[in-house]
Amino acid sequence: MDSFFVRFKNPLVLIVIVLAQTIGLAIQVQPSRTGAGPVGSDGRKMSLLRYWSVAIVTPFERVIHGSSLNVRHVWSNYVDLRHTREQNQALQLEIARLRQEQASFAEDAAQGRRLQALLAFKQQYITSTVAAQVIGTSGTDHSGLLYLDKGSVEGLKPGQPVITPDGVVGKLRDVFPHTAQLLLLSDPTSGAGILLESTRIRAILRGTSTGNVQIDNLMADSRIKPGEKIITSGGDQVFPRGLPVGVIESIAPDPLHQPYTEIVVHPAANLLRLEEVLIITGTATTMPAAAQQDAAIADAVSEENKRAADIISEKLPSLNADTPAAKPGDAPKPSDQIGGVPGVPNSGLPRTQPPLHPDRFSPGTTPSAQELKPGAAATPQQP
């Protein structure tokens, strides 16, 4: 018996390995009857082999990504210190400009909120987010899938929207305990409901196999121009309304689907250089307390600026330094009227001056008929 195992040791080892792989494949292909196990974005059960592979590879990806990120941050910090002063001055000027714009937009924002309250409009406000870092890709040049370092332990769920400070990025596809898979807008299987900001036209945004983002099934319209901004419409029940998506880059007829057009969109967020993202984990129809406080402060600043402008306008001197400013209710003086005609203000028009060289054709220089003598030469009257 021992000689049999010794003689056929290598074939027996090969048979055992093949049998173990076959049993493993049978276990992972068979669906779970208890309902437990990882679940994808479409409700399907993920294979155990894929689940184990992700669990094994994730720690190594995390270590490699963290090391490269630290080296990159050290070098970038050294380079950025050389331009900190110039950037600080530019940012100070930008802050001053934005404060002026905020004061001018506060009144419009308050009016918009009043109109929304009158129309009972339900706006979705972002209440909670989770920050995550990109730690891996699917490996292709035009990859539409990225791996994040946060998962279901942090409260992430499939289908949650993902954004950056610049705009929309995509949504979560598969969620694991400590990692999650991000489906970008540029992926062919991705889609989002959008709204053209100026024309208010609704459409669907989809990715292409080449990594571009375009609008499908939209009829030709002369109002749609390159450069128009695009925001989320909220109709897909995934992305909240009003998030920036991008701008229209080009418009061309679709040769395969006439009379539709092929509209290429330049995303607001740089989908090719993503490092940190935000996952929206909670929304509400009421404005958060912090946002309400900011809105109240903006309204107060707007009212204060308006009162200050009114006070300054009342104390400004008149155009003529010798003439005091007119008070409300005062009747206009004859000098402030055209030709002394009551009810017709001067409004800054020049007075009519007498002619330098009067002649008999000038108004007021012709003598009356009673003073005329037959055969006498007419002499112009002096003014």
- Domains of the chain in start order, with CATH, are 81-289 (2.40.10.340)
- Residue 338 has a CB neighbour count (10 Å cut-off) of 14
Q: Tell me, what's the pLDDT at 77?
A: 75
Mean pLDDT of 133-146: 79
Give the percent of the chain with pLDDT over 90.
Answer: 20
Sign of CA dihedral 267, 271, 276, 278: positive
pLDDT (tens digit per residue) in 198-215: 888 899 999 988 888 998
Asked if residue 259 has a cis previous peptide bond (ω within 30° of 0), the answer is yes
Position 169 pLDDT exceeds 90: yes
- In this predicted model, which residue has the larger pLDDT, 122 or 231? 231
Q: Mean pLDDT, the chain, as a whole number?
A: 75
Q: How confident is the model at residue 185 (pLDDT cuts 50, 70, 90)?
A: very high
pLDDT (tens digit per residue) in 239-293: 988 899 999 999 988 878 778 888 999 999 998 888 899 999 988 766 666 666 7
Q: How confident is the model at residue 81 (pLDDT cuts 50, 70, 90)?
A: confident
Q: How confident is the model at residue 176 (pLDDT cuts 50, 70, 90)?
A: very high
Contacts of 236 (CB under 8 A, 6+ apart): 191, 192, 193
Contacts of 211 (CB under 8 A, 6+ apart): 141, 142, 144, 186
- Return the minimum-mean-pLDDT range out of 61-65, 238-242, 295-299: 295-299
Q: Tell me, what's the pLDDT at 124?
A: 63
Length of the chain as a residue count: 383
Q: How confident is the model at residue 111 (pLDDT cuts 50, 70, 90)?
A: low
The C-alpha angle 42, 45, 47, rounded to 5 degrees, equals 125
278: phi then psi, degrees, rounded to nearest 5: -120, 130
Query: What is the Cα Rg of the chain in Å?
Result: 38
Cβ-contact 5, 14 below 8 angstroms: no
**Bridge partners of residue 263, in order along the sequence:** 215, 251
- pTM of the shown model: 0.51
Position 230 pLDDT exceeds 90: yes
Q: How confident is the model at residue 57 (pLDDT cuts 50, 70, 90)?
A: confident
HEC secondary structure over the chain:
CHHHHHHCHHHHHHHHHHHHHHHHHHHHHCCCCCCCCCECCCCCECCHHHHHHHHHHHHHHHHHHHHHHHHHHHHHHHHHHHHHHHHHHHHHHHHHHHHHHHHHHHHHHHHHHHHHHHHCCCCCEEEEEEEEEEEEECCCCCCCEEEECCCHHHCCCCCCEEECCCCEEEEEEEECCCCEEEEECCCCCCEEEEEECCCCCEEEEEECCCCCEEEEEEECCCCCCCCCEEEECCCCCCCCCCCEEEEEEEEEECCCCCCEEEEEEEECCCCCCCCEEEEEEEEECCCCHHHHHHHHHHHHHHHHHHHHHHHHHHHCCCCCCCCCCCCCCCCCCHHHEHHHCCCCECCCCCCCCCCCCCCCCCCCCCCCHHHCCCCCCCCCCCC
Contacts of 146 (CB under 8 A, 6+ apart): 134, 136, 137, 138, 181, 182, 184, 274
Q: Tell me, what's the pLDDT at 218?
A: 85
How far is the C-alpha of 196 from the C-alpha of 180, rounded, in Å?
31
Mean pLDDT of 9-31: 74
Position 18 pLDDT exceeds 70: yes
How far is the C-alpha of 154 from the C-alpha of 198, rounded, in Å?
38
First-to-last CA distance in the chain? Answer: 149
Q: Tell me, what's the pLDDT at 216?
A: 81
Q: Tell me, what's the pLDDT at 156?
A: 92
pLDDT (tens digit per residue) in 308-367: 766 766 665 544 445 555 555 555 555 444 444 444 444 444 555 565 555 555 555 556
